[in-house]
Amino acid sequence: MLSFLAPRTTVHAHCDLPCGVYDPAQARIEAESVKAIMQKYAASEDEAFRARAITIKEERSELVKHHLWVLWTDYFKAPHFEQYPQLNQLFNEATKLAGAGGTKGSTDTAVADQLLGKIDEIATIFWETKKA
At residue 2 the predicted structure's pLDDT band, cuts being 50, 70 and 90, is low
Q: Burial, 27: exposed, middle or buried (Cβ in 10 Å; 0-12, 13-18, 19+)? A: buried
For residue 93, what are the CA distances in angstroms to 82, 111, 130?
18, 12, 23
Do residues 91 and 72 make contact, with C-beta atoms less than 8 angstroms apart?
A: yes
What CATH number does domain 47-132 carry, 1.20.120.400, 3.40.50.720, 3.40.50.2300, 3.10.450.50?
1.20.120.400
pLDDT per residue as tens digits for the range 73-103: 999 999 999 999 999 999 999 999 999 999 9
Number of residues in the chain: 132
Q: What does the domain layout of the chain look like in residue ranges?
A: 47-132
CA 43 to chain centre: 27
At residue 52 the predicted structure's pLDDT band, cuts being 50, 70 and 90, is very high
Q: Burial, 99: exposed, middle or buried (Cβ in 10 Å; 0-12, 13-18, 19+)? A: middle
At residue 121 the predicted structure's pLDDT band, cuts being 50, 70 and 90, is very high
pLDDT per residue as tens digits for the range 56-77: 999 999 999 999 999 999 999 9
Task: Look at residues 33, 35, 25, 56 and name the one whose alpha carbon lies nearest to residue 112.
Answer: 35
